[in-house]
Amino acid sequence: MITVGRAVAAGAAYSALVSLMLSGVSRYAIKSCRGEPLPSAVVKPWGLAGDRRWMVVDEAGDPVTARTFPRMILIRPELLPDGGVRVTAPGQPALAIARPDPAPVPVCVWGSELLADFGGEAAACWFTAAIGTRLLTSEGSLAALNDLIAGGPLAAEGPLPMTRFRPSVVVAGAPAWAEDGWRRLRIGAASFRAVKGCDRCVLTMVDPQTAARGKEPIATLARHRRWDGKTWFGMNLIPDTPGAIISVGDDVDLLEQVPANDGPPR
């Protein structure tokens, strides 16, 4: 997912000469847990290397996410050189989970039936105790959203940090909502297709530092960025150059764009 940074007024046109830069790269090793900011990352066919390759599931194989268990936001994963992951959380001892041996178990992700490798009983018990029973954004769009929140009835909940949206990459230098019209872009040596906007869920209303839940940004997005019964912020990217490395400070070049008058592609 991409997001775009500090900007001119929402919807304003901007010149192709505007300089864009990659201002942030983050990896979320375990879906719904805390992210890890990185200076650079390798691009894989499915996204950034190590990003959201682990997932917590219940006994039925369905995803367990911070939408239902906000305390997952407080769990901090760290990928290990051997392919495993080390996890820490408030009030819990650290646990190193080895890369599991191939022992496929059925899981379900957004309606898709898949096979995953089980991380072990120790990991299952650790997450049960920690919980108490999931690519591109821009700085400009976040700044515009925070301005809207500041002028609304829930101003006390703002301003919100970019971490609320859990983006893999963040772009600086574009006007607010410009990414709605992006279709192809290059970040450093890596090329991507922007294929779909990101419809936002209740997870964005959870403070990543405290796990407390409010009403923003969904309340404001629903007033200003609502189409097809959903609220939208950021874009989903598909990489076209697996193996390329992107780094904070890389130039971002727009290769194809269309007018962004009706929100992102949906």
Residues 44 and 150 in one domain: yes
Number of domains in the chain: 2
Q: What does the alpha-carbon distance between residue 187 and residue 244 come to, in Å, rounded to a whole number?
A: 10
Residues 138 and 104 in one domain: no
Final residue of a structural domain among 133, 167, 188: 133
Those residues whose C-beta lies under 8 Å from the C-beta of residue 147, and which sit 6 or more positions away, are none
What are φ and ψ of residue 105, in 5° steps? Answer: -125, 145
Note the residue count of the chain.
266
Residues 247 and 183 in one domain: yes
Name the helix (H) or strand (E) containing 108: strand 104-109
Q: What does the alpha-carbon distance between residue 138 and residue 18 come to, in Å, rounded to a whole number?
A: 14
| CB atoms near residue 28 (< 10 Å) | 22
Per-residue confidence of the chain (266 residues) as pLDDT tens digits? 544 444 333 444 444 557 899 999 999 999 889 999 999 999 998 889 999 899 888 777 888 888 878 888 899 999 999 889 999 988 888 999 998 888 778 888 777 888 888 888 888 878 877 876 537 789 999 999 999 999 999 999 999 999 889 888 999 999 999 999 999 999 999 999 898 898 898 888 888 888 888 999 999 999 999 999 999 999 988 888 888 899 999 999 999 999 888 888 88
Question: What confidence tens digit (pLDDT) does each residue in 251-262 have?
Answer: 999 999 998 888
- The 47-48 sheet, strands edge to edge: 47-48, 40-44, 245-247
Final residue of a structural domain among 84, 108, 133: 133
Residues 264 and 148 in one domain: yes
**CA distances for 104 relative to 100, 117, 222, 238, angstroms:** 10, 5, 40, 27
Residues 119 and 6 in one domain: no
Question: What confidence tens digit (pLDDT) does each residue in 186-210 have?
Answer: 999 999 989 889 889 888 888 888 8
Residues 73 and 98 in one domain: yes
Residues 228 and 255 in one domain: yes
Residues 175 and 103 in one domain: no
Q: What does the alpha-carbon distance between residue 4 and residue 141 come to, in Å, rounded to a whole number?
A: 5
Kindly report the pTM of this predicted structure. Answer: 0.74
Residues 20 and 151 in one domain: yes
- Residue 85 CA to its chain's centroid (Å): 19
Residues 29 and 78 in one domain: no
CATH code for position 138: 2.40.33
Residues 102 and 195 in one domain: no
- Residue 196 CA to its chain's centroid (Å): 14
Final residue of a structural domain among 133, 153, 171: 133
Q: Which domain, by its residues, includes 95?
A: 53-133
Residues 26 and 152 in one domain: yes
Bridge partners of 63, per DSSP, are 57
